[in-house]
């Protein structure tokens, strides 16, 4: 099996992404990074920037599957889920334009697949991913959104491909 999987952790301020390749039941990182739409621009322009950036990544790496974090809402911050819904909408549109398969996974399920606990912290998940992929301290310089995206792609593999 040789398959490319893209994980996306959506956000209006920072969207993390990670591209992994599954080859003979092992995973390797092809690319990782983040998108930061320009602050101070109109909201529609920020969404357009996010759409164009995601579309570019999709066209470059041609993933078979794109894994996006399921939306969640915290009672103290309901507006955050509304903003994330906008980001997810343009991301879903870009995915549909390229014909990749879309999968959504709840954060707790990804955490359980990666660290064995659905309530693991973002830092714990990052630590497990660093060990799993042999990543050095330079990985700590990336925003947590990048390790979240890598966890989504890797969690998808653990949940669906390694049964």
**Residue 140: active-site member:** no
Q: Which residue has the tokens 């630590």?
A: 127
**Residue 31: active-site member:** no
Annotated active-site residue in 59, 69, 123, 138: 69
Assigned token pair, 40: 């101070």
Q: What are the helix (H) ranges across 2-143?
A: 43-61, 78-98, 107-115, 122-133
Annotated active-site residue in 31, 96, 140, 145: 145
**Residue 137: active-site member:** no
Determine contact, residues 118/109, Cβ cutoff 8 Å: yes
b (16+ CB within 10 A) / e for 102-123: ebebebeebbbbbbeeeebeee
* Whole-Å CA distances, 12 to 2, 17, 54: 32, 13, 13
- Tell me the sheet residues that pair with 23: 2, 26
Determine contact, residues 141/159, Cβ cutoff 8 Å: no
Active site residues: 9, 69, 145
């Amino acid at each position: 099996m040789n398959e490319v999987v893209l994980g996306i952790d959506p956000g209006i301020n920072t969207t993390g992404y990670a591209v992994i390749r599954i080859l003979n039941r092992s995973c390797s990182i092809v690319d990782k990074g983040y998108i930061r739409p320009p602050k101070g621009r109109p909201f529609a322009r920020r969404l357009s920037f996010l759409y164009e950036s995601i579309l570019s990544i999709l066209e470059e790496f041609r993933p078979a599957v794109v894994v996006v974090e399921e939306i969640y809402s915290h009672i103290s911050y309901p507006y955050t889920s509304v903003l994330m819904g906008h980001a997810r909408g343009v991301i879903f549109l870009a995915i549909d334009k390229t014909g990749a398969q879309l999968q959504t996974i709840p954060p707790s399920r990804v955490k359980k697949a990666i660290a064995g606990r659905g309530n693991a912290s973002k830092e714990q998940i990052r630590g497990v991913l660093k060990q799993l992929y042999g990543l050095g301290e330079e990985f700590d310089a990336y925003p947590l959104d990048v390790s979240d995206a890598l966890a989504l792609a890797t969690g998808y593999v653990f949940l669906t491909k390694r049964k």
